[in-house]
Amino acid sequence: MKKTTLLLALSFTLVFCSFQKDKWIKLFNGKDFTGWTIRGEQVKNDYRIENGEVVGTSKPNSQNTFLCTDKNYDDFILELEVKVDTGMNSGIQFRSESRPDYKKGRVHGYQAEIDPSARAWSGGLYDEARRGWLVDLKNNPEGQKAFKKFDWNKYRIEAVGKTVKIFLNGVQTTNYTDTLETRGFIALQVHGTKVQRPMEVRWRNIRLQELAKK
């Protein structure tokens, strides 16, 4: 009897731990922007909701605009899908900040690159409004081939301690250990442009798994 009870308790513990390990939360409810704030400079781009997706529209002569989570995150795994106009650059901010004492509140921090251009650096790591490129894809031909134009692309971002890993459609594009260990919000960037036509970027299935700080 004691053996059976012990086995049942062990099984419950394993199931519970597995559930906790795989506990994903939806960052976007698909209906409104509760929990999100738009940040940017001067002429801002538009965000709207369509078919449960976040749609960002880049206006002519605009500047970078960010739809930011109100909550900050430390260690996490973030997954989402993105589809972008091939003439448009975009990005996924994470561990980012907007502070009055830094460039008058300009959004800065890590960005997973969305780059449909011939350069093909999608999945690279850029430090927005701070240090610039941390990981490009010049020497990663497999990573450069991972992005699918005219289609949805799945990003997975793992931020654990000082290490950042980015996967694009299952291909690892970034594995970077930084001198900094930061925390901050997650944001969807609509890049400023001088192109005289509106361009769109779409995001869907945005989910996050918070990890215990080691």
**Could you read off the pLDDT of 71-97 as tens digits, one per residue?**
999 999 999 999 999 888 899 999 999
Query: Sorting pLDDT into bands at 50, 70 and 90, what band is 117?
Result: very high
Contact 69, 187 (CB under 8 A): yes
Region at 6 (left for phi over 0; alpha for psi -120 to 50; beta for the rest): alpha
Q: What is the pLDDT of residue 63?
A: 82
Residue 186 CB coordination number (10 Å): 27
Higher per-residue confidence, 207 vs 22: 207
Residue 15 pLDDT > 80? no
Contact 112, 154 (CB under 8 A): no
Q: What is the pLDDT of residue 18?
A: 43
Residue 111 pLDDT > 50? yes
Q: Which domains does the chain have, with CATH numbers?
A: 25-210 (2.60.120.560)
Q: Considering the chain, what is the average pLDDT of its residues? A: 88
Rg (CA), the chain: 19
